[in-house]
Structure 1
Amino acid sequence: MELYFSNDTFTFNLQIGKFDVPQEAIYPVFFTGALIYLFAVLSNGTILALIITQRSLHRPMFYILFSLPLTDLIGITCALPRILVDIVTQSNTVYYPTCVIQAFLLHLYGGSVLFALAAMSIDRYIAICKPLRYNSIMTPFTLCRVIALVWGLDFALVLVLFALQARLPKCKTFIVNVYCDNPSLLRISCAGDTNVNNVYGLAMTGFMQIISVSVQLFSYVQILITCISHTQSNARVKAINTCLAQLITFCLFEIVTTLTILSYRFENISLNAQRLCGMMIFTFLPVVNPVVYGMKTKNIRNVLFVLWKKQKNAST
């Protein structure tokens, strides 16, 4: 796809929006953000390392779960470090190709969360509702196809979104938001019909939501029916607990996304608050998700406890 520029006014060095941070609060904000980022990297990295190294987690459920901390790391790494640097340096410039890459990865992050949660719900549905057929259904080949579908479909949808955006000539140099995304890149276009981009963007978002919500709704309704009909209370509790982390993560994602959308619809909300709400999608969830899975997933919790106990014994 050929990208057009208007050489009269366009430059690859773009100006980008910034948070209005008082001078005395710059370094406290920077160090707080750095601690948040460090915690997200360590916690998500720990989940990834456990899934890779611990044989007890070499199961379809955790191979699919692997996508979630991975995509959380992509989301927070693409957004937070550059914003923290901008707060300290007050430069607020971004190189156009870097801006496009950031926007692409952030949109990839949003879609992969939805599709990964849908895939995880299907895995739980088969494990709880069809336990005797689980191993025959969730074969390594099926697992590879599921993971490839999660990432492949997300990548294809986002790639088309940015191909449509790239066809438009660019002549403006100011990115309204504090991070780059597709709507911000559309605003620096000086000509061309953006109706196709807007329609496709809405359709893509709706498609991702409908697919994810429909798959999860079907899976968890079937699981609920199975749990209600099960005679053993311990089995019901165990089945519900295996789904709890996914449900919490999905609800948090939808709540944060809804708050972000609403923040841009009310004029009395300050620009700083709107930008902060937008940042929550890429910062709040990558911090909270590994905590949720560490606390609510029994297998991960047990592995962490065993490793901690071994480390404690080795140090004494």
Structure 2
Amino acid sequence: MRSINMSYLNPKTVTLIGIPGLEHMQFWIGFLFLGVCLVALMGNIFLLIIIPTERSLHQPMYIFLAVLAATDLGLCAAIVPKMLAIFWFGSCSMAFDTCLTQLFFIHALQGMESGILLAMAFDRYVAICDPLRHTSILTPLFLVRILLMVAIRTTVLVGILPILLKRLQFFQSVVIVHSYCEHMAVVKLAAENVHVNKSYGLFVAFAILGFDMIFVFISYVLIFHAVFRLPQKETRLKAFNTCTAHIVIFLEFYILAFFSFFSHRFGHVSPYAHILLSTTYLLVPPALNPIVYGVKTKEIRKRAAQICILKPDTWQ
């Protein structure tokens, strides 16, 4: 017991080093991530203003989109302030409990985003495969139940991660090779058996991201099957066009998510490449989502133009 450095016994603080190997560039990289964050903040705030005030957008798909926007804002708030403090001011220290709190919110909001994408896929499935029953199936009460299920599932599954980390006592280091508190980055600090932590982390990833991705894929197989059975080409294109924004968001979210996930656990990616990739995965989708739906949705474009004091006709 005495051979263990007592400063690493139940540590009160940890140190985040940012991006190892790119310390000399972190100051300038911070401006890049700040720009992405500002685009995400502006776009998602616009959505949260436009969707409640535009009656034509009071539909399940756009209600889910508003919840997705709120989730994206939370994700930016959980990551960017501390990351920029590290890059610009060298504020690398963080209380261990604060680190676990950040870890919980980052992974919980990721899980929420995945669940909302699944709910949006279900909405598109009903709208195309069973359009006559769309309003009777996706009632306001049903939407509330879906959102509660997504929130409860994520909170319970992700909430166990910091609890399992908190039970660890001995750490070989308190220096986290990352710009934010990520589950596996914290697990790697431990100087005791972390098999349960690693196994449960994999379980959570597949129970949320894996489960959602499979069912979104199944939904689109059924959607495409229904679309290609439509008799007229114009009808097929119109039906497919209602799904394109969601497909783009689905692909960019899950491709980046799983590449980041597997490279951290099984790959041989350099630390700075992994950190840049994982940070990009968390911050780029919140910036792209409002742009994708803004481009595809006429009502959002026109309302955004009115808010910006532009002529709506120029957006048509």
Amino acid at match of 1:183: M
Structure 2 unaligned runs (5+)? none
Change (3 A) 1:236 1:80: same
In 1, the alpha carbon distance for the partners of 2:202 and 2:32 equals: 35
Partner of 2:179: 178
TM-score (normalizing by structure 2): 0.87
Q: Given that residues 242 and 297 in structure 1 are in contact (C-alpha distance below 8 angstroms), is that contact kept between their aligned partners in structure 2?
A: no
The amino acid that maps onto 2:287 is V
Query: What does residue 82 of structure 1 align with?
Result: 82
Match of 1:250 in 2: 250
Task: Give the superposition deviation at 1:151.
Answer: 1.4
RMSD: 2.4
The farther-off stretch of 253-262 and 232-241 is: 253-262
CA shift for structure 1 position 17: 2.2
Deviating more after overlay: 293-302 vs 199-208: 293-302
Q: Structure 1 stretch 163-172 or stretch 224-233: which is displaced more?
A: 163-172
Could you say which residue in structure 1 is the equivalent of 2:32? Answer: 32
Q: Tell me the CA shift for residue 209 of structure 1.
A: 3.0
Q: Does 1:111 align with 2:104?
A: no
Note the C-alpha offset of 1:311.
4.8
DSSP 3-state at the match of 1:66? helix
Partners of 1:46 and 1:163 in 2: how far apart?
Answer: 36
Instruction: Give the deviation of 1:160 after TM superposition.
Output: 2.1
CA distance in 2, matches of 1:200, 1:262: 15
The answer (yes or no) to whether the contact 1:64–1:119 under 8 Å persists in 2 is yes
Map of 1:250-269 to 2, 5 A cutoff?
250-261=250-261, 263-264=263-264, 265-267=266-268, 269=269
The Cα offsets for residues 170-203 of structure 1, whole Å up to 9 and x where unpaired, read as 4442212221012122233333x42222212112
Bigger drift between 146-155 and 228-237 goes to: 228-237
The one-character-per-residue Cα deviations of 1:39-85 (angstroms, maximum 9, x if unpaired) are 11111111122112222211211111222222222222212221122
**Within the alignment, does 1:18 sit opposite 2:26 as a pair?**
no
Mapped partners of 1:271, 1:244: distance in 2: 34
Aligned: 1:43 with 2:43: yes
Do the aligned residues in 1 keep the contact of 2:16 with 2:86 (CA within 8 Å)?
no
Q: What stretches of structure 1 move > 6 A for 4+ residues in a row?
A: none
8 A Cα contact 1:245 1:297, kept in partner: no
Q: 1:83 to 1:251 in 2, by over 3 A?
A: same
- The DSSP-based 3-state class of the residue aligned with 2:14 is strand
In the aligned structure 2, how far is the partner of 1:21 from the partner of 1:29? 9
The answer to which of 106-115 and 251-260 deviates more is: 251-260
Residues 52-91 of structure 1 mapped to structure 2, 5 A cutoff: 52-91=52-91
Aligned position for 1:9: 8
State yes or no: 1:206 paired with 2:203: no
SS at match of 1:163: helix
Letter in 2 for 1:87: F
State the distance in 1 between where 2:267 and 2:142 align: 45
Alpha-carbon distance in 1 for matches of 2:199, 2:26: 39
The residue type paired with residue 213 of structure 2 is V
Equivalent in the alignment of 2:188: 187
2: CA distance between counterparts of 1:170 and 1:22?
28
Provide the secondary structure at the position in 2 that maps to 1:231.
coil
Aligned to 2:98: 98
Counterparts of 2:304 and 2:292 in 1: how far apart (Å)? Answer: 14
Alignment size in residue pairs: 304
> For the Cα contact (< 8 Å) 1:260–1:274, is it kept in 2?
yes
Give 1:122 shift. 0.5
Q: Distance in 1 between matches of 2:97 and 2:210?
A: 32
Match runs of 1:283-298 below 5 Å: 283-298=283-298
**Alignment match, 2:272:** 272
Secondary structure at 2:94's aligned position in 1?
Answer: strand
Cα 1:142–1:47 change in 2 (3 A) is same
Q: Is the 8 A contact 2:177 2:185 kept in 1?
A: yes
User: 2: distance between equivalents of 1:169 and 1:52?
Assistant: 48
Question: What TM-score does the superposition give when structure 1 sets the normalisation length?
Answer: 0.87
Partner of 1:220: 220
Rounded Cα–Cα distance in structure 1 between residues aligned with 2:13 and 2:57: 46
Aligned partners of 1:22, 1:126: CA distance in 2, in Å?
A: 50
